[in-house]
Chain A
Amino acid sequence: MPEKPKVTFYWCASCGGCEESVVDLAENILDVVAAVDIVMWPVAMDFKKKDVEAMEDKSILVSMINGAIRTSEQEEMAKLMRRKSQLVIAYGSCAHLGGIPGLANQFQREEILQYIFEESPSTVNPQKTRPERKVMTNGNAVTLPNFFNVVRALDQVIDVDYYLPGCPPTPKLLKQALDALLSGNLPEKGTVLAPDIALCDECPKKDTKPSDLKFTEFKRPHLVQIDSATCLLAQGIVCMGPATRGGCEGVCISGNMPCTGCFGPTSRVKDQGAKILSALASQVEAKDEKGIDATLATIPDPVGTFYRYGLPISLLRRKNF
């Protein structure tokens, strides 16, 4: 029996949703398991780092890595997987764009640690204890990974072959990607494995967007009664759809929530946030600074809104201190 191609799933700074999405393949997962040999999947199977280290370089067909890189351990593991794999797929928004953890790039490392270990409402820590980086136990040194100041997307750390976008990627896109991998019918390196056209193309509410839309106020979804039949932008709700790659088939939109941009920009765009900013601001009705500012003030957090997933790969990458 010929050896089955080896596959790994690995997670870095992520919520675990991407792991769930693999299970979302439902019965298709059986085909996958039949076709491949999973040699590393920390969330589901017990393999150790040393097992992977023991493998020959490039002996793994593909590593699907989800999550952003924000600790030294993640960086080290990503580099290891890269060395052992022929292909690396950045799996999901965090690996692809930096994702939600990437929003931490608006803060300094110390600000974050202080908040988490001292100030957050659920923390009781009057001694202000912080984890020790290195502890000696029975003559052995136990170390914790280092927590970086900067959150990075996977391709800012290692070479990435393909990107499977989404928070999380849809089962359909994962299935297509796996089929392509197993058949060897692969696109050009660096391809994002989703359509290269903005979400509006497949949006169920597409036809209800007026051609003369002008904004006088932006509304936040939780503050309005959303008309489920109408384009969200037409209702004044910031929807990232026009600046976001399609392929999700409008799952959020169908659930009456605006697109928040998890599939990232199209290949023609360098900075998703700048693009949606440009598109939305261009359509503001006011012509004078005061009026313009008043309309734009209804977007309370432009960075958090426009770079919900993409701050680490944006042109500025993080807040400048």
Chain B
Amino acid sequence: MLTAGEQSKTNTWEPRIVAFFCNWCTYTAADLAGVSRLRHAPNARIIRVMCSGRVDPQFILDAFSKGADGVLLGGCHPGDCHYMEGNYKALRRMRLLKRMLKDMGIEEHRFRLEWISASEGERIKTVINEMTEQVRTLGPLGLPKKFEEWDTEMEVLERTVNGKEEAVHA
């Protein structure tokens, strides 16, 4: 068996990162990164929301379940939220979600919360590059594929039972 990391090298697999950016700070910073031509990895796909507080933990789980290898959430720095406190709500939810993801076997580096202000175009580049490399090292998460495997478990198991491999419990 190849490790996930080795596997990714042998495939043309590229990490897929879904990024939820708040309109006022992080999305603006991404625009600034664009205007400043700060080249970075093409692996993140941004979804714009008005505030990091809009980001429902369901969005993050849904992204993973649809095939994201990483999810990035970007908001204004604490104290700087355009809506006063939305980022604190995001922080509280994500602290718990992070713990829960860990319990669910999703590696820590696959989910990241970052405060990036409108002027930090450089930070967009650093964070996306860094995260892309971390996720690349972890290899694909590939939940949709796993779901398929889980749903056809009977066929797989029956094949092993009726076929040559008798002792599945061995």
List chain A positions with a Cβ less than 8 A from chain B.
Answer: 72, 75-76, 106, 113, 130-131, 133-134, 143, 146, 148-150, 152, 156-157, 269-271, 273-275, 277-278, 280-282, 284, 286-287, 289, 292-293, 296, 299, 301-303, 306, 314-321
- How many chain B residues touch the partner (CB < 8 A)? 38
What is the 8 Å Cβ interface bit string for chain B, positions 74-88, against chain A (1 contact, 0 not)?
000010000000001
> Is there contact, CB below 8 Å, between A133 and B169?
yes
Determine the distance from Cα of A134 to Cα of B163 in the docked complex, in whole angstroms.
Answer: 12
7 example contacts (A-B, Cβ-Cβ < 8 A) are as follows A269-B58, A273-B100, A274-B56, A292-B91, A296-B95, A302-B100, A303-B100
Contacts of B166 in A (CB 8 A): 133-134
Most buried by B among A106, A131, A146, A280: A146
Most buried by B among A75, A150, A274: A274
* Shortest Cβ distance from A106 into B: residue: B103
Determine the distance from Cα of A302 to Cα of B96 in the docked complex, in whole angstroms.
Answer: 8
Give which listed residue, B58, B105, B106, B157, contacts A271 with CB less than 8 A.
B58
* Shortest Cβ distance from A215 into B: residue: B92
> Is there contact, CB below 8 Å, between A320 and B105?
yes
> Is there contact, CB below 8 Å, between A150 and B153?
yes
> Is there contact, CB below 8 Å, between B105 and A321?
yes
Give which listed residue, A275, A296, A321, contacts B99 with CB less than 8 A.
A296
* Shortest CB distance B163–A (Å): 12
Any A CB within 8 A of the CB of B108: no
* Shortest Cβ distance from A110 into B: residue: B169
Give which listed residue, B97, B105, B106, B150, contacts A277 with CB less than 8 A.
B97
Contacts of A306 in B (CB 8 A): 100
Give which listed residue, B78, B96, B143, B154, contacts A72 with CB less than 8 A.
B154
List the 6 shortest-distance A-B pairs measured between CB atoms, nearest first.
A320-B105, A315-B61, A274-B57, A150-B150, A281-B92, A146-B157
> Is there contact, CB below 8 Å, between B96 and A281?
yes
Beyond contacts A133-B166, A275-B57, A275-B58: 4 other A-B pairs, Cβ-Cβ < 8 A, are A133-B161, A271-B62, A277-B100, A319-B104
Contacts of A148 in B (CB 8 A): 153-154, 157
> Is there contact, CB below 8 Å, between B61 and A271?
yes
Determine the distance from Cα of A52 to Cα of B103 in the docked complex, in whole angstroms.
Answer: 42
Any A CB within 8 A of the CB of B13: no
> Is there contact, CB below 8 Å, between B95 and A293?
yes
